[in-house]
Structure 1
Amino acid sequence: MGLNESNQQPRVRLEVADGIGTILLDRPPVNALDTLAQRQLEQVAQQAADRTDVRAVVVYGGPRRFAAGADIREMAGMSAGDMTRWARRLQEAFTAVADIPKPVVAAVNGFALGGGCELALTADRRVLAEDAVIGLPEIQLGVIPGAGGTQRLARLVGTARAKEIVFTGRPLTARQALEIGLADQVVPADQVLKEATAWAAQFTTGPALALKAAKQAVDLGASTDLRSGLLIEQALFAGLFGTADRRAGMGSFVARGPGQAEFSGN
């Protein structure tokens, strides 16, 4: 921690209520993700992953914007060597969010551009405001996305669409994002956080270990061949038979039918 860092207002913080952890970006005016914000994002993501009172996560930039991306002023004077180290730390911060072993939803108001879009891509679901704008404009700066954008976007919407978005750097409206699967839900701006939180809330009393396994199975399987993915699924499926939640879920099903189980998260 730097000499003055402890005295600064946190750029990223975790707020927890009713089983939901909200990762809040708070660096006015546009939530640019500088080095300190990246470090805090990684720390907060790890906290959300580790805390047992957090069962689902919302990533939120506030009612007026999500994030404008990396801090261009900070990047402008960097050499290739500087950027090699900086980009590694940036990817590590975003990967920490992607690796949270719980359902994660991005609540996007305003714009999510560059690193903001890449951060939204780390979530399992994206809820966008009707007037939101999302995209990867890095090509217009003479570079490419460096925080997972080329990889996560292609896996989400397909390589052809990802190339067109990355090559042109054009922004997408919320409706355009919904049409190609980059957004999962589009709602009025004042409903974004409410809808994202409602989606997260359904998991707060769910089987935490099964949800973790489900996320791992999909994410790991998507990056490998089908045969390997099936083996991953098989191992995770079998491992859940040693959990209290599996016993509660199957016992409740036999005794009372589906949808009646009470899970402890163990």
Structure 2
Amino acid sequence: MAEEELQESDTAVRLFRVSEDGEALRFQFRFNSVGRKTKVSFLYRTGIIEVKLDRPAVKNAIGRDMLKGLQHALEVVTADSTANVLVISSSVPRVFCAGADLKERRTMNPSEVQFFVNSLRLTFSLLESLRIPTIAVIEGVALGGGLEMALSCDLRICGEDATFGLPETGLAIIPGAGGTQRLPRLVGKSFAKEIIFTGRKLDAKEAHSIGLVNYCLPAGGAHLKALEIARDINQKGPLAIKMAKRAIDEGLEVDLSSALALEEECYQQVMESKDRLEGLAAFAEKRKPIYTVRPQHHQEASVKEWSLRGGPVGEAVIGSHGKLVYNYYGGNSKMNELMQRAMAGCLCSS
């Protein structure tokens, strides 16, 4: 029933935390009533966060509301010190993101269009600059801004039915949210120019052959592969992963001598960490390491006195208006209000 209500509210972006067995937990929380004191148990399973795009009526086209949702989702992920990997996927079958919401775009004047495109470019830059690894899961179409979003991620995993393209020149514009810069850096200048000049679409096989995606799986298999990679990353030293990403990303933008100095700086930071010693100890003792920066598996937040019968399960989502919304099975508006205040601390606590 909650799913239907969420669909009706035109939720644009959803946040999930993923369990070790690969199941998505919609920031799951449970209610337990003890007398008149309600405690909210917020369950953290892993450091894997998943953002799902969900605008089925327009094939996940990016409009103002979708952009606000993405921005807020990135704020939540940035503030969550337990996050180790971010996965971006779609709830809509055979669609990742069809690009800009052109119907909405037609209602904008030139200054509004420029502001929107600048905001989208900045949002994708924020996605790219996240300290943790990011993985785009692409099943179906990834066009225009949808492909630019995927290009802003560290890794891209697609299904064999995926379609890629930057068709903007056909509308007498250019890719304006990073496409002209990230695509050539990924696949080379010559391939990028041909793709952008012609605006043609690439199938999954060609995308894989030119290095646009890391893996191409049978249709429907990209999500499982992405979670497999995410779980693998999640088991590594969190600080080491962040420093490796920084060394690679920032190092490629400078000369080799400066890049090697940056590598030394990043290595020094992991040398001084407790995790490095734990990794060596675990190797010697033939056990799995227990690193210091790990998700908390169980948090509790006390809420104002409120009686609640039963134990419904709810979910936290990013609403189409860009604000965090907590929904639960039961429909009690007073409890929902209390939940919003209580859960905000749980989402971002370290």
TM norm structure 1: 0.91
Q: State the Cα distance separating 1:9 from its structure 2 match.
A: 3.7
Distance across 1 between alignment mates of 2:139 and 2:231: 20
Contact kept in structure 2, 1:206 and 1:265, CA below 8 Å: no
Aligned residues: 258
- Superposition pairs of residues 7-22 of structure 1, within 5 angstroms: 8-18=9-19, 19=46, 20-22=48-50
* Secondary structure at the counterpart of residue 56 of structure 2: coil
Distance across 2 between alignment mates of 1:186 and 1:142: 31
Distance across 2 between alignment mates of 1:224 and 1:42: 29
1:262 equivalenced with 2:290 (yes/no): yes
TM norm structure 2: 0.70
Contact kept in structure 2, 1:39 and 1:93, CA below 8 Å: no
1:94 to 99, 124, 146: 124
Contact kept in structure 1, 2:50 and 2:87, CA below 8 Å: yes
1:123 equivalenced with 2:153 (yes/no): yes
Per-residue CA deviations over 1:65-121 (Å, capped at 9, x if unaligned) read 100011112223444432332122111221222122212111101100001101111
1:49 equivalenced with 2:50 (yes/no): no
Per-residue CA deviations over 1:157-180 (Å, capped at 9, x if unaligned) read 111111111111111000000000
Cα RMSD after superposing both structures: 1.9
**What is the identity, as a one-letter code, of the residue corresponding to 1:11?**
A
**What is the identity, as a one-letter code, of the residue corresponding to 1:121?**
L
Higher relative contact order at CA 8 Å, sep ≥6: structure 1 or structure 2? 2
| Equivalent position of 1:235 in the other structure | 265
Higher alpha-carbon deviation: 169-178 or 57-66: 57-66
More helix by share: 1
- Superposition pairs of residues 41-190 of structure 1, within 5 angstroms: 41-62=70-91, 63-190=93-220
Per-residue CA deviations over 1:161-213 (Å, capped at 9, x if unaligned) read 11111111111000000000001111112212111111111122221111011
Query: What are structure 2's unaligned runs of at least 5 residues?
Result: 1-7, 20-45, 295-350
Q: List structure 1 segments (4+ residues) > 6 angstroms apart after TM superposition.
A: none
More strand by share: 2
Query: What are structure 1's unaligned runs of at least 5 residues?
Result: 1-6
Contact kept in structure 1, 2:82 and 2:293, CA below 8 Å: no
| Equivalent position of 1:4 in the other structure | none
* Secondary structure at the counterpart of residue 264 of structure 1: coil
| Higher gyration radius (CA) | 2
Distance across 2 between alignment mates of 1:148 and 1:233: 26
